[in-house]
Amino acid sequence: MNDVAVIQFNGKLALGRESQRIETLVDEIGSRPEHKVIFDMTGVHYIDSAGIGILALAAGKFKAAGGKLVVVATPESRVTQMLKLTQVSTIVPVFTTLEEAAGSF
């Protein structure tokens, strides 16, 4: 996974400081040559519409730069449920392990 950036998130992914931090990270990573990005969200227990929007925005930015964003989340987690409910999982693939996610590139 040398050419893959793995970013681990914990706690909440909601409107506020955390979502601003993610936007900054996305801009920073987007300026580097490694546009294969995994958001490891196995430690996230809450996500709101702002968090969902940030994921969709990040996926679009990486795709426009020739890259790809995928997410790792546990199957029954709120993250997985929200990504499916909002159909963001159709543009941001969701995997259950880092190995599966890395193998998708």
pLDDT tens track for 32-41: 666 799 999 9
Q: Are 55 and 83 in contact (CB under 8 A)?
A: yes
- pLDDT score, position 33: 62
Q: Are 1 and 40 in contact (CB under 8 A)?
A: no
The dihedrals phi and psi of 66, each to the nearest 5 degrees, come to: 85, 15
The CATH number of 4-103 is 3.30.750.24
Can you tell me the distance from the alpha carbon of 88 to that of 78, in angstroms, rounded to the nearest whole number? 13
Can you tell me the distance from the alpha carbon of 38 to that of 89, in angstroms, rounded to the nearest whole number? 14
pTM: 0.88
Domains of the chain, residue spans: 4-103
Q: How confident is the model at residue 1 (pLDDT cuts 50, 70, 90)?
A: low
